[in-house]
Amino acid sequence: MIRFNDCKPGDLVVAEYEGKEWEGEIVEVNREDKEVCVRTEVQEFWFDPAHLRGIPLNDRQLSLLGFEKQVNGNDAPVKYCKGAFRIMLPRAESFDEFEMWYREDRRHIAKPIYVHELQNHYRDMTKVELNANVAH
Q: What is the pLDDT of residues 46-63, one digit of tens each?
A: 999 999 999 999 999 999
The CATH architecture assigned to 4-53 reads Roll (2.30)
* pLDDT one-digit tens code per residue, 73-84: 777 789 999 999
Q: Is the pLDDT of residue 135 over 70?
A: no
> What distance in Å separates the CA atoms of residue 60 and residue 109, rounded to the nearest whole number?
19
Answer for the pair 115, 129: CB distance below 8 angstroms, yes or no.
no
Mean local confidence (pLDDT), 117-134: 90
Task: Say what the pTM is.
Answer: 0.90
Q: Are 98 and 112 in contact (CB under 8 A)?
A: no
Q: Tell me the Cα Rg of the chain.
A: 15
pLDDT of residue 91: 81
How far apart CA 132 and CA 136 sit, in angstroms, is: 8
Average pLDDT over residues 107-131: 96
- Compute the distance between CA of residue 9 and CA of residue 5 in angstroms, rounded to an integer: 11
Hey, where are the domains in the chain?
4-53, 59-126
* pLDDT number for residue 73: 73
Q: Is the predicted pLDDT of residue 134 greater than 50, yes or no?
A: no
Q: What are phi and psi of 116, to 5 degrees?
A: -65, -30
Q: What is the pLDDT of residue 46?
A: 97
